Structure 1
Amino acid sequence: MSISTKRGDSGETDLMFGKRVPKTHPRVRTCGAVDELNAQLGVVRASDVSDALEQCIDKIQSHLVGLMGVVATDSDDHQKYADKGYQGIALCDVEWLDGIVHEVETVQGHRFRGWSRPGSQGALAGAALDVARTVSRRAELMSWEIDDAELSVARQFLNRLSDVLWLLARSREAGDAS
Structure 2
Amino acid sequence: MRIYTKTGDKGTTSLIYGQRVSKNDIRVEAYGSGDEANSMIGLALSHLKSEYFSGKEKAERVFHKVQTDLFHAGAELATPAGKEVKWTIKVEDITFMETQIDEWEADLTVLNNFILPGGHPAGAAFHVARTVVRRAERCAVSLSDEVNPLVLIYLNRLSDLLFVAARFVNHHLGTGEQPLHDGKS
Question: Shorter-normalised TM-score: what interval?
Answer: 0.7 to 0.9
Q: Which structure 2 residues correspond to residues 98-117 of structure 1 after superposition, within 5 A?
A: 98-105=98-105, 107-117=106-116
Larger Rg: 2
Counterpart residue type for residue 33 of structure 1: S
Provide the C-alpha distance between the structure 2 equivalents of 1:153 and 1:147, rounded to a whole number of angstroms: 10
Counterpart residue type for residue 9 of structure 1: D
Report which stretch shifted further, 37-46 or 87-96.
87-96
Work out whether 1:153 is the aligned partner of 2:150.
Answer: yes
Work out whether 1:142 is the aligned partner of 2:139.
Answer: yes
Provide the C-alpha distance between the structure 2 equivalents of 1:11 and 1:45, rounded to a whole number of angstroms: 33
Size of the alignment, in residue pairs? 168
TM (norm. structure 1) is 0.87
Q: What is the aligned partner in structure 2 of residue 59 from structure 1?
A: 65
- Residue aligned with 1:73, SS: coil
Q: What is the aligned partner in structure 2 of residue 68 from structure 1?
A: 74
Flag structure 2 segments of 5+ consecutive residues without an equivalent: 175-185
Identity %: 33
TM (norm. structure 2) is 0.84
Per the alignment, do residues 47 and 23 of structure 1 end up closer, same or farther by CA in structure 2, a change over 3 Å counting?
same
Q: Which structure 2 residues correspond to residues 1-178 of structure 1 after superposition, within 5 A?
A: 1-48=1-48, 50-77=56-83, 79=84, 81=85, 86-105=86-105, 107-119=106-118, 122-175=119-172
Aligned Cα RMSD in Å? 1.8
- 8 Å CA contact 2:108–2:171 kept in 1: the answer is no
Structure 1: which 4+ aligned runs deviate by more than 4 Å?
Answer: none
Flag structure 1 segments of 5+ consecutive residues without an equivalent: none
In the TM superposition, residue 176 of structure 1 has moved relative to its aligned partner by 6.5
